[in-house]
Structure 1
Amino acid sequence: MLLHRNLPFRTASLGSCHECMHTVFMNTHSRKTLENSPIMHGEPFDIAWKEAGHESGKPLIFLHAMAGSSTAWAPQMDSLAPYFRCIAWDMPGFGESADAPDGADMPWTVDTLYAFVTRTLNLSSAHFVGLSVGGMILQHFAARYPEVAKSIAILDSSPKFGFGGASKPAEFADPILADLAGGTSPADFSESMIRAIVGPDCPEKVKMAAIQSMSRSRANGLALATRLIAGHDALEQLCRITCPVLTLAGAQDGETPPSYAYEIAARIGAASVTIVPQAGHIVNLENPDPVTARLAFFLEHGL
């Protein structure tokens, strides 16, 4: 079952989540699915994205992790498409998007996301969901552009890299950046990295899909994600987030453990926290049904 904590955070009842899950997974007709959605490109920076649902639906934007792309949200987008205009971007350097400029950092990425939402998509605001580094980006984005973020869901993420003294940025980033600069292919380390971050209950087909996805990544995107993760520190910014927030973590996530979800919520001051069983650091794919149901309830009720 899902684990909820109610103090000092907002909560949703498990029963409500089950009802929401039934609605989400039964009503899946008359909309465009992620599978048949074409890749679209926009300006000012060439960001590619996929859509599912109806253009008239409330916009819901998904940000993927380091080991992913716009296709990583298929279970959630296909199920939520009857109710939302679901949009998943390829982060700069990933998928069909253009490479990020040399030295691109978190402020650049946040401003690029803002331009993507307000100029490319011509939206004044949207709901957002981010996994891992995607959740890190959203913490900075919601603090910097509160008028654009109607709500944010932060999955398997942290308030700061190495929070609690877990590790130092250079210990994480330097070997990866050196390998990428030296010509090492993402395919050379994708399997070891994916198998290290998923939970012990992760289905083998999910592992293999994640490995294949990361193997297809470009060095430019992985280098950007590595810099974003290593430089991430939102501890002083979280208190400026004013929109509804859900923090969600896989119970088996050793990279960004459930305690990080509680820390993010505590620093925001009002947020919902949910821990999903039988899932590690790719929670939305390792155990997708309860994640999708929890997102649906949060998006409907803000709790």
Structure 2
Amino acid sequence: MLDSAPHGSSPEWSNHAAFAPVAELNREARRTEVATEEGFAVWREWGTGPALVMLHGGAGSWSHFFRQIRFFAQNYRVIVPDLPGFGDSADCNRDAEPHRMARILAAGIDRLVETERFHLVGFSYGGIIGSFLARLLAPRIDGFVIVGGVGFEARRNDVNLSSWRRISDTEQRRARHRDNLLAIMIADPGRIDETAILIQQSNAERSRHDTRPTARTKPLTANLDATRIPLAAIWGERDQLAVPYFDERRAWLAARDPDACFKLIEDAGHWVQYEAADAFNAALTDCLRSFAERADK
């Protein structure tokens, strides 16, 4: 299992000054808890307009999109759940079964989006869960953007993370979270600010599920081959999991959708939407625009 916060521990990150912008954005959200017989998910919404559903990565929460929400809420209704087993949502089940996660999320979309069509964005593990969700809701999805995609046949790098679980000292614990950011999320150490560290800490210490078994089954290909929805993909060119195998990713995407946008963002790692937010926001805007242009043909 992944590390989880020790029982009874206080969230040392919650009142830190560098976490205040995240807390403020959380307060601005319209929050809804959608329960099903299989569990509940907590959803947050900002803005109005066409629905843009964003799924965070493993050991994450809605805050993986901290630097996207206000930007896209100018033109979209941005809807971001905490995936089951992460953040404020309930545990899914012991094995984090992805079909169950997808059903819980589908119930939330039925509640919040109703019959409206929507765009879907999935970051890392969120792309895997998004592919299971797409099998349930494909006719309603105008396009699916995979960010830092995992869980398919292209070669990837193994990344070793450091355990923070038994560290009681606040600064040492936070330093370990910074180490893990550099190992798997952010390529340039100069871009690891205090807010990034605290987002990483808050997410990791509330995470209850191990995403690796699902990723190892490489379900993305089969799921997307079964849906054939419009696709796009964005990677950081220094993505710790993907570099240097981007030609394989480009070919994989083109085989699923020859018209798909493929974006590589310079000098950014796996958590590309945080490390290079302006470039990422422009790239995602292009991807969403491409879906609309294809629909008009």
For the superposition of Structure 1 and Structure 2, which TM-score range results when normalised by the shorter chain?
0.7 to 0.9
Partner of 2:178: 191
Identity %: 21
Q: Kindly tell me: are residues 277 and 35 of structure 1, through their superposed partners in 2, closer, same or farther at Cα, counting changes over 3 Å?
A: farther
Q: Does 1:201 align with 2:160?
A: no
TM-score by length of 1: 0.73
Partner of 1:105: 97
Q: Kindly tell me: are residues 127 and 195 of structure 1, through their superposed partners in 2, closer, same or farther at Cα, counting changes over 3 Å?
A: same
Partner of 1:147: 139
Instruction: Give yes or no for contact 2:230–2:257 (8 Å, CA) kept in 1.
Output: no
Which gives a bigger RCO, structure 1 or 2 (Cα 8 Å, sep 6+)? 1
Tell me by how many angstroms 1:145 deviates. Answer: 3.0
Partner of 1:6: none
Pairing partner for 2:108 from 98, 112, 116: 116
Partner of 1:50: 44
Q: How many residues align?
A: 259
Secondary structure (helix, strand or coil) at the match of 1:223 reads coil
Pairing partner for 1:244 from 221, 230, 243: 230
Q: Kindly tell me: are residues 133 and 275 of structure 1, through their superposed partners in 2, closer, same or farther at Cα, counting changes over 3 Å?
A: same
Partner of 1:290: 279
Gaps of 5+ in 1: 1-31
Q: Does 1:268 align with 2:256?
A: yes
| Separation (CA, whole Å) in 1 of partners of 2:167 and 2:146 | 29
Q: Kindly tell me: are residues 279 and 46 of structure 1, through their superposed partners in 2, closer, same or farther at Cα, counting changes over 3 Å?
A: same
Secondary structure (helix, strand or coil) at the match of 2:207 reads helix
Instruction: Give yes or no for contact 1:157–1:260 (8 Å, CA) kept in 2.
Output: no
TM-score by length of 2: 0.74
Partner of 2:207: 221
| Separation (CA, whole Å) in 2 of partners of 1:237 and 1:103 | 19
My pick for the range that moved more, 285-294 or 264-273, is 264-273
Instruction: Give yes or no for contact 1:159–1:260 (8 Å, CA) kept in 2.
Output: no
Instruction: Give yes or no for contact 2:96–2:209 (8 Å, CA) kept in 1.
Output: no
My pick for the range that moved more, 293-302 or 184-193, is 184-193
My pick for the range that moved more, 218-227 or 264-273, is 218-227
Tell me by how many angstroms 1:164 deviates. Answer: 3.1
| Separation (CA, whole Å) in 1 of partners of 2:267 and 2:279 | 11
Cα deviation code 1:87-146 (max 9, x no counterpart): 111111222111222122222222222122113543443211111111122233324431
Q: Which amino acid aligns with 1:142?
A: A
| Separation (CA, whole Å) in 1 of partners of 2:106 and 2:88 | 19
Partner of 1:254: 240
Partner of 2:67: 75
Gaps of 5+ in 2: 1-23
Tell me by how many angstroms 1:267 deviates. Answer: 3.1
Q: Which amino acid aligns with 2:257?
A: G
| Separation (CA, whole Å) in 1 of partners of 2:218 and 2:101 | 12
